[in-house]
């Protein structure tokens, strides 16, 4: 049985604010730019613990087999690297870039921006995604990867928004189920900002 961590609990009300550096704030004010406040949704300790659990699940499923992580650029890069560091199997890296968002809005259309560069035929593929909401991007990507005749294809996501799901997906590994919030940090961005935050936060 797959275990999924959820923050649909009382704990989700106990997030604390990451205060904006006043020097940076003044700089943004001088430039007429708006800097949003980011509230911690999943802290570093919870991320670390859950990544360890996901790594154990993957190693159990694949025994000593080689694995290819296909990371969805750019948001999944941090999650992919941190997860791979915890896995003892040989893990190859591949990247693919898709586009379906502008700012915080989904365009509803998935566009392929960067294709895979290596051969994945006959290999065990795990698609690494930062977040799944409607499932449109992952549905497109899963079918796209199947064209290359891999041995197997599984999906691993750091975050999932069940309330947003439109496409039915069999997601094999889920880090956390979260409410319908726009999240940043741990590789995820808002107009290319906040990617390097060490936690998952929400803007507002």
- Separation of alpha carbons 110 and 132, rounded Å: 13
- d(Cα 154, Cα 192) in Å, to the nearest integer? 28
Nearest alpha carbon to residue 70 among 142, 166, 174, 21 = 142
Q: Give the angle 44-50-51 at the CA atoms, nearest 5°.
A: 90
**Sheet hosting strand 200-203, strand order edge to edge:** 17-18, 38-42, 200-203, 183-184
Residue whose entry in the numeric block shows the structure tokens 């659990």: 53
Catalytic machinery residues: 133
């Amino acid at each position: 049985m797959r275990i999924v961590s959820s923050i649909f609990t009382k704990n989700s009300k106990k997030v604390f604010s990451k205060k904006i550096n006043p020097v940076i704030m003044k700089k943004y004010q001088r430039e007429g730019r708006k800097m949003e406040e980011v509230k911690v949704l999943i802290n570093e300790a919870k991320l670390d613990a859950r990544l360890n659990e996901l790594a154990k699940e993957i190693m159990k499923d694949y025994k000593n087999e080689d694995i290819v992580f296909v990371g969805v650029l750019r948001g999944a890069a941090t999650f992919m690297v941190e997860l791979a560091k915890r896995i003892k199997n040989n893990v190859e890296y591949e990247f693919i870039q898709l586009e379906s968002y502008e700012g915080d809005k989904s365009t509803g259309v998935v566009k392929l921006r960067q294709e895979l560069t290596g051969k994945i035929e006959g290999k065990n593929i795990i698609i690494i995604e930062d977040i799944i909401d409607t499932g449109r991007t992952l549905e497109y990507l899963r079918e796209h990867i199947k064209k290359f005749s891999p041995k197997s294809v599984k999906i691993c996501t750091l975050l999932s928004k069940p309330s947003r799901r439109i496409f039915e997906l069999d997601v094999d590994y889920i880090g956390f189920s979260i409410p319908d919030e726009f999240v940043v940090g741990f590789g995820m961005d808002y107009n290319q900002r906040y990617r390097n935050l060490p936690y998952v936060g929400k803007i507002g």
